[in-house]
Structures are given as structure tokens and as C-alpha cells.
Structure 1
Amino acid sequence: MGTTWSLRAGAPEQGLPAGVRERIEAVLGRVIAQMSNWEPASDISRFNRAPLGTWQYIPDDFRAVLQAGLGVARRSGGAFDPAIGQCVDRWGFGPARREVATKSPAGGFWTAIELDGSRARRTADVELDFCGIAKGFAVDAVVHALQEAGLRHFIVEIGGELRGVGVKPDGQPWWVDIEAPPGLALPRTRVALSGLAVATSGDYRRYFEDAGIRHAHSIDPQTGAPVLNAVASVTILHESAMLADAWATALMVSGPARGADLAEREGLAALIVTRTLGGASEYLSPALTAML
């Protein structure tokens, strides 16, 4: 995934269960083998190369992520789109080399993906890309593996996305400060991740600049190009890291006003940071305000 992972645990008296690192690495290896566009032999790469209209059997984890991604695509009006792979490549954020960017057909790539139980197919020339949801799924999968191993109090982090279980050894929850976009002076927001996950999508981690314009890795399916809507970051708190990941992307693409409407309609605990001429403004959804 091109990033790091970490685990902090309140271990029982006998210490961590044997083979914890191996369990985590096995989970991450499975996610990469199924969902990495950088691996030519992965399930997602083979799916994208298969002839159009051909039903393909997909593994359980792949199916779970695809099903969740299609669900968020439907509920967000296509702001999140798991079939946006060609646009991601075109702008140099995927395994392919960046090309001269041309406008793509307006959105709805996800509607060309059909899912039927444990099989799926493409009905048009689109490509799956799970970069906006797979990392969150990996967090959830690692949490599940650690719970099966007997751990009850821990926090897992993969590339800045976290999920906490139980409490710290001192009885306090797993407190986490939400990162503010660099250069923006904002009040600190601290959240307790006991039974919750947090994911952030922003314009300041993966981007390139061309002619003074910042092109971030979040792609707007309607234009086929990086978003240009003044949103600096979106943070979502959710019981599922996978859904927090996907909804953070959806609201990032939607923009300040539509993103706020989506957060309220879906009952999402969301923090939207928007760049302004005077610096930045914050929007806290009703669900997040109630938490705080």
C-alpha cells in the first residue's frame, strides 16, 4: 500500500499472544494480493484485464469491499466511485505513468460494475480502484484478526487511519488528535477511539503542482480530474474504518455545501475543513457535534 502500520496494545499479564506480527502481516498480504493495482497478479488487476461482460469469481474480502464501495457510490450520488481507476492512472496517482489529462465521460463509472454473489463483471471499459476504501478495510481486518487472537485493548493504525478497541492500560480511551492540514491554524479536535475508527481524506498528502495549481489525488468522477473545490480535508468517525475511509473520500469530492448535506443526511460524524481567503473554516456535522 506504500505506507506503514502500527499497533499499540494494552497487553495482558502474560504479554501479547504469540505470532501477533505474523497475523497482521498475513492480513495485509491478503489485502494486497486481492486489491493492489500495483500488483499485476492481484485479483483486482486480473479483474480489470478480463474481457468485458465476463463474469469472474472474486474472493470474499474483494467482494465485501466492492459491495461496500458500490453502496457508498449509490448513496453519495457517485461522489465516491470504486471504478475510477482509469482516471486515477491518467493523472499519475496509480501504477500507470501520468498522461496528458483529457476530460473523461461525466461520472457514473461504478454503474458499469455488476455484482452477483461471489462473482462480478464489467459491462463497460472501466477499471476498479480501491484506493479510497481498501486501507480502511485493512484496518478493520487487522482488528478482527487481533480480536480472534485474544486482544481486547488496542489501537491499529495504517497510513493515518485508526481504529481503537477497549481502553488504554490507565483506563483512559485511545485519545487521538485530528490532524489539521499543514499551514492552517485551527483549534485542536481530540476524539476518543474506543469502539470507533477515524479516517481523513485531504489535498496535502499525495499531490503534484502544475502551473501553480495543486492537483490532489482525490478524483472527481464528474470531471475525471482532481477535485478543485477548496476542501482541504474531511475526517469521518465511524464504527467501520472501511466506511469512514470511503465516506471521507465522498465528502472530499462533494465539496463544502454538498458534503455537509451528505453528512447530515447519512448521519455521519464529519469534520470538513475548507480553505478560505482568510485561512480556513470548519464544519462539524450534527453527529460529530453530539459526540464532542
Structure 2
Amino acid sequence: MKHVYVIGIGAGDPEQLTLQAVRALGRAEVFFLLDKGEDKAGLVRLREEILERHAPRPHRIVVATDPDRDRDAATGAYAPAVDDWRRRRGDIYQRLIAEELADDGCGAFLVWGDPALYDSTLAILEDVHARGGTDFDWTVVPGISSVATLAARHRTGLNQVGRPVQITTGRRLADAGGLPQGVDDVVVMLDARQAFGALTGQGLHIYWGAYLGTPDEILLAGPLDDALADRIRATRAEARARKGWIMDTYLLRRTQPPAPRGPADTAGGPR
């Protein structure tokens, strides 16, 4: 039977691979990479560098073009846009597994960070397998996430003593208008809109990082005021213009208690 590895490769540093990931790289004979266009060619090169260092077995690299995705869809249209993109990606995965792997062959997808955290590969493979027609099995190898790398680079924990931590997206943070009730630490991913900018002056501390684990890594941290928010925006815009792409994430930490909520702020609204 065909076998596929889904290998978490860390946030960008080739030395972040686990021993389990290195062993899996040594078993695969075909590696599937998705080309996201010239602007993001660096993402393919980073994967190729990892293979040069850690995949000693003779292997092939098969590159397919990643389908376009509507990243600016309004909130109500966001889920359907993601479903359509996943379906089209699934068509590509199905073709790669069917055409590029022998019946007893072993292939691999290299996933940034950890495959279980804000990545679509596992859900797409489940869908492809459920379609039938392509018989294969798969193994998931966890990786060091950008969240873990962010905390390590800033030399901080993700949560405070006895307190929860929440991981969410910039879209959901913006829709919520701030940190959830009862949560003092929120890690924000996929935030092209930079939702933190609307939360200045609320007693929050931000730990921000881009290109984590790579030579281009950028770190900024401090009380979230207008000056720091502007600095992060400017730094992010400059880096994205220079490289053509950016991957960033941040931790928001409440350092002051939230303002008391009045009757108009309760779940039922004014009474």
C-alpha cells in the first residue's frame, strides 16, 4: 500500500526537526512541494534546504502549483472560500499520490510548524482518502510550531500561573473586539489585518515575531501602545515588500485587569 508521511518541519530553522522527523525524511522517496508563486519561492527553497540536510536517501521532489485562495473574503464568505480552496488542493493531492507513488511507494508532505495547528494538510488527506479510488495510508509526525518558537525567542511562557491560554486567528480576534473574558493570554496567527492595532491602551503586552527560526527573524515586544503598534505595522510592511511574503504571529498578554463591565456590556445588552 502507498504510504504518506505528513512531517512537521518547524518554523523555518532546519535544526528544529525532531529525530522522528529526520527518520521519516529518510524513509520517503518522493517529496511533494506546493509552489505558491515567485513571491513565495523562498518557502520552497527552505524546504529544499531541509531535504539537502536531512534526506540522505535518493529521492525525487515533485512540485505542483498551489491553487489560488480568496484571502479577503468577508466573514460570512470565509468558510465557503476555504472549503473551495481545500477541495481544489485535494484534487492536486489525489493526483500526486495516484501518479507519483508506486503501489508500495512512500511519499511525504513537509508542513510548516506542526500539522495539527492551523494547517489544512490532514483534513485534505482525510477527504482524499474518503473519496476512494486511491488506496493509501498516512502517518503524522509532529513538529515545533511557530507558537512554541515565538515563546522561546522571547524567553517567556505562553500562559501565566494557573491561567488558560487561547490560540486564535486575527480574523476572530478582530470580530471579538479584544481578548475573551477570563483569558489573559492569547496567541494570534494568520493576522494579515493586524488586529492588534485596535487593542492599544488596554493594558496588554505584545510579543511579536516574523520569519521565526530563519536568518530573517524579526522580534518586537513591549506594552501595546500606539507607538509600538505603528512600529510593528511599519516593520511588517517593509519586510513583506522586501521578501514578497511574511509569516508572523504574536502573543497578547493582559498585564492589567480589564475595566469593569457595566450593564450595557453584559451578554444580553442594555437592560
Give the TM-score category using the shorter length: under 0.3
Higher helix share: 2
Work out which structure has the larger RCO, using CA pairs closer than 8 Å and 6 or more positions apart in sequence: 2
TM-score with structure 2 setting the length: 0.27
TM, length-normalised to structure 1: 0.26
